[in-house]
């Protein structure tokens, strides 16, 4: 498979422009690839489940994969909507080969009774974006709790792991030739 040349950010529904700015600044520091922004997509009402007051992440991700781009671009959808997938009450994100989706809804410190903290919020967004993009290039979950590819069952897991790949996952990326050398 060809190496990835860029990541394209795709706002889905209402997304704080500061989130896009942060990701454009922070993702290249971790992934060593440029980041661009595409026009936004609407939140498709057919993926909204009123009884849950949530959107089905799988549907939003499927909408994202309809964006035409070359095979060297990773798509990262960003939404402020609360999302879930079958069998889980919520997810921070979801991915498939070449495309990923994150939700900022449960990443805000205020969601957990904390005071607003833009630095922590930015850290969580970056961590979940890198995690889902890792899946988009083919990485599985990692058993090391400090690795970005560790599964986040709660916000505590996200806060503990941070946005960096462990040595083993970084080596997998290099071996797969998925990302350009920085």
Q: Ramachandran region of residue 31, left (φ > 0), alpha (ψ -120 to 50) or beta?
A: alpha
Q: Which of 18, 20, 26, 55 is nearest to 40 (CA)?
A: 20
Q: How far apart are CA 73 and CA 3, in angstroms?
A: 9
132 has catalytic annotation: yes
Q: Is 139 exposed, middle or buried (0-12, 13-18, 19+ CB in 10 A)?
A: buried
Q: Which of 143, 146, 4, 140 is nearest to 76 (CA)?
A: 4
Helices (H), 36-177: 57-64, 118-136, 155-161, 167-176
Q: Which of 99, 60, 90 is nearest to 158 (CA)?
A: 90
Contact 80, 13 (CB under 8 A): yes
Give me the catalytic one of 25, 128, 132, 143: 132
Q: How far apart are CA 88 and CA 72, in angstroms?
A: 31
Q: Supply the residues annotated as catalytic.
A: 132
């Amino acid at each position: 498979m060809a190496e990835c040349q860029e990541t394209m950010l795709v706002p889905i529904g209402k997304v704080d422009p500061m989130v896009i700015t942060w990701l454009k600044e922070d993702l290249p520091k971790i992934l060593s690839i440029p980041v661009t922004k595409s026009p936004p997509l609407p939140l498709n009402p057919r993926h909204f489940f009123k009884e849950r007051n949530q959107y089905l992440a799988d549907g939003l991700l499927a909408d994202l994969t309809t964006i035409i781009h070359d095979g060297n671009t990773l798509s990262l959808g960003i939404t402020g909507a609360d999302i879930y997938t079958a069998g889980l009450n919520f997810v921070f994100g979801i991915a498939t080969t070449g495309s990923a989706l994150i939700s900022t809804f449960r990443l805000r410190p205020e969601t957990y009774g904390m005071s607003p903290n833009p630095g922590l919020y930015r850290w969580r967004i970056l961590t979940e974006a890198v995690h889902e993009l890792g899946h988009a290039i083919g990485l599985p979950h990692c058993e090391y709790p400090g690795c970005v590819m560790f599964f986040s069952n709660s916000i505590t897991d996200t806060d503990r792991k941070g946005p960096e790949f462990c040595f083993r996952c970084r080596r997998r990326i290099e071996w797969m030739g998925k990302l350009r050398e920085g």
